[in-house]
Copies of this chain bind each other. A is one copy, B any other.
Amino acid sequence: MSDRLARLSGRLREQGYRVTGARRAILQELVSSSGHVSADELAALVNRRAPRVGRMTVYRTLELLQQLGLVRPIYLGSGAAHYVLLEDGHHHHLVCARCDAVVEFDDCLMQELEQRLGERYNFRVQGHLLEVVGLCESCREQEPA
């Protein structure tokens, strides 16, 4: 359950960052919403439980998590960035190119690819985000063309 929470805050601590109340609250919501949240949406969620945590802290914490490779921003519809947790270093979903519906999937054929890439480009791979893009069923029905 808060396995994941513990793992995430562990990562912060071991990299020399403080595990503050605000950060814990943010991680908490990020894990329990385990979906695609914008910074503002996340701030609103956090505020319900920890009203003293401001929007700015959410932005800054997301940036930190991103630098640590724990989170990735994606673009979903409107101008705001949405964030996904890289659970165990990876995340996968299908996105409808038209209505931005999202379907999560778990298949992962990529451990091997990651390793090869890391070696070839001298890159320490932390994880990956794979978006498969296309049209969902209902968008396809609307326009059979």
Contact = CB atoms under 8 A, between A and B. Distances in A.
Interface of A: 15-16, 66-69, 72-75, 79, 81, 86, 94, 96-98, 103, 105, 107, 109-110, 113-114, 116-118, 120-137, 140, 145
Contacts of A66: 97
Contacts of A73: 75
11 contacts: A72-B133, A75-B75, A94-B125, A107-B116, A109-B113, A123-B136, A123-B137, A126-B133, A128-B130, A129-B130, A130-B130
Nearest to A101: B123
A118 B136 CA distance: 9
Contact of A67 (B16, B97, B124, B136): B97
